[in-house]
């Protein structure tokens, strides 16, 4: 028997859970709001790692109340969406960015739309949203980036040798490694899925340490992509060389449950990741760091995002600054029609969960202007 939709008891009133078959080989689980009235403009919401469509629950109803049909999928590799390969040695190329874009083109079309008024992407959903509008600006008519700035597509290789950032990080007095490449290792899934503290406690600590609640999140611009500069970031980004992510975040387990993520809400995430593990999401990181796979994005080298765009992030989110210069390049080069760039006080990385009212307000303002 197939998976059931999410229990309505964990969803806000007006949001439903359902499945859509035949989405580029997937049976895609989606959350949906504003579905009662036909003909509404469509807004597509894309989550990041380690999250789910559920991370958008608090902004879906305000968008629907304003007249939009709001669709948030569990993306390929996540949650209740099925049809993807969960093995480390499995079909990695199905997780490459252009196939993730194909997923979204198929999903929008399956709902009967020729275009979406906007696509919003948070965290790893942000670059997927970017390539949606780069590849199909006719279908995705505006874009909102959240927490992860898009500094533009990769440049064509110059032929010049580049320093080995991994060797430089490992050679620091406190040896370090970059979490993107750690997430591509064979042991990363096992480390988090079977963490000594359990999946629920691992996620609680991980979510806490990247939120505004953690006092160590005081980000600032980094000068360059060098080991010395990158090592100024917290260890959940630039990890100790001999540590896994479960051990990295374990000391930061919060003493109290935050207002923005109740125990019942955490249980939704923990239930899904306990069931399927993290490998589906980790495949995205492997595609991003595999030069042969990521190289296909060089076809967009020099291209700009010309549809209306905006950025929403938390002022206490290191994700805004983790790639030196990306925040500035997004505003100055990558996006030619950026109508808003907002850093919210009192928000960290999980901005649409930590500050849902402010995010909803900013998204509605952007949609009205775009």
Where in the sequence numbering do the catalytic residues fall?
123, 349
The CA-based dihedral angle spanning residues 13, 15, 17, 22, taken in that order and rounded to the nearest 10 degrees: 160
Tally of CB atoms within 10 A around 87: 9
**Backbone phi and psi for residue 302, each to the nearest 5 degrees, phi listed first:** 85, -10
**DSSP conformational letter for 261:** S
Alpha-carbon gap, residue 140 to 130, rounded angstroms: 10
Q: Are 53 and 27 in contact (CB under 8 A)?
A: no
Q: Which residues pair with 362 in a beta bridge?
A: none
Exposure b/e, 261-270, CB count within 10 A at least 16 = b: beeebbebbb
Q: 48 exposed, middle or buried (CB, 10 Å; 0-12, 13-18, 19+)? A: buried
| Strand extents, DSSP E, the chain | 15-23, 26-33, 42-46, 69-73, 118-122, 143-146, 176-178, 238-240, 309-314, 338-344
**Of 56, 50, 32, 29, residue with least CA distance to 42:** 32
Alpha-carbon gap, residue 249 to 82, rounded angstroms: 29
- Which residues lie closer than 8 Å to 141 by C-beta, 6 or more apart? 115, 116, 117, 118, 307, 308, 370
Alpha-carbon gap, residue 283 to 277, rounded angstroms: 12
Q: At what angle do helices 279-289 and 97-110 cross, to 10 degrees?
A: 130
| Strand extents, DSSP E, 82-181 | 118-122, 143-146, 176-178
Q: Which two tokens stand for residue 235?
A: 């260890």
């Amino acid at each position: 028997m197939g998976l059931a939709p999410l229990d309505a008891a964990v969803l806000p009133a007006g949001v439903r859970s359902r499945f859509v078959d035949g989405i580029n080989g997937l049976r895609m689980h989606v959350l949906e709001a504003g579905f009662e009235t036909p003909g509404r403009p469509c807004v597509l919401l894309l989550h990041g790692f380690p999250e789910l469509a559920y991370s958008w629950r608090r902004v879906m109803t305000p968008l629907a109340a304003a007249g939009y049909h709001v669709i948030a999928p569990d993306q390929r590799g996540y949650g209740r969406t099925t049809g993807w390969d969960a093995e480390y040695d499995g079909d990695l190329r199905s997780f490459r960015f252009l196939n993730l874009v194909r997923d979204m083109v198929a999903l929008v079309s399956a709902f009967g739309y020729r275009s979406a008024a906007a696509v919003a992407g948070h965290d790893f959903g942000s670059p997927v949203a970017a390539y949606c509008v780069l590849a199909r600006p006719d279908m995705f008519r505006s874009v909102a980036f959240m927490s992860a700035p898009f500094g533009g597509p990769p440049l064509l290789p110059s032929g010049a040798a580049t320093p080995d950032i991994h060797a430089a990080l490992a050679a620091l007095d406190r040896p370090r490694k970059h979490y993107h490449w750690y997430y591509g290792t064979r042991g990363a899934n096992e480390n988090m899925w079977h963490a000594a503290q359990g999946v629920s406690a691992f996620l609680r600590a991980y979510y806490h340490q990247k939120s505004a609640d953690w006092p160590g999140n005081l980000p600032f611009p980094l000068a360059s992509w060098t080991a010395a500069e990158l090592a100024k970031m917290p260890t959940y980004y630039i990890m100790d060389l001999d540590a896994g992510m479960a051990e990295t975040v374990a000391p930061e387990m919060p003493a109290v449950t935050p207002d923005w993520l109740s125990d019942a809400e955490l249980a939704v995430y923990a239930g899904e990741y306990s069931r399927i593990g993290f490998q589906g999401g980790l495949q995205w990181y492997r595609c991003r760091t595999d030069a042969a796979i990521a190289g296909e994005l060089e076809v967009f080298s020099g291209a700009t995002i010309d549809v209306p765009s905006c950025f929403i992030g938390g002022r206490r989110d290191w994700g805004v600054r983790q790639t030196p210069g990306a925040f500035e390049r997004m505003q100055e080069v990558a996006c030619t029609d950026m109508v808003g760039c907002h850093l919210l006080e009192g928000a960290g990385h999980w901005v649409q969960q930590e500050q849902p009212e402010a995010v909803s307000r900013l998204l509605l303002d952007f949609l009205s202007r775009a």
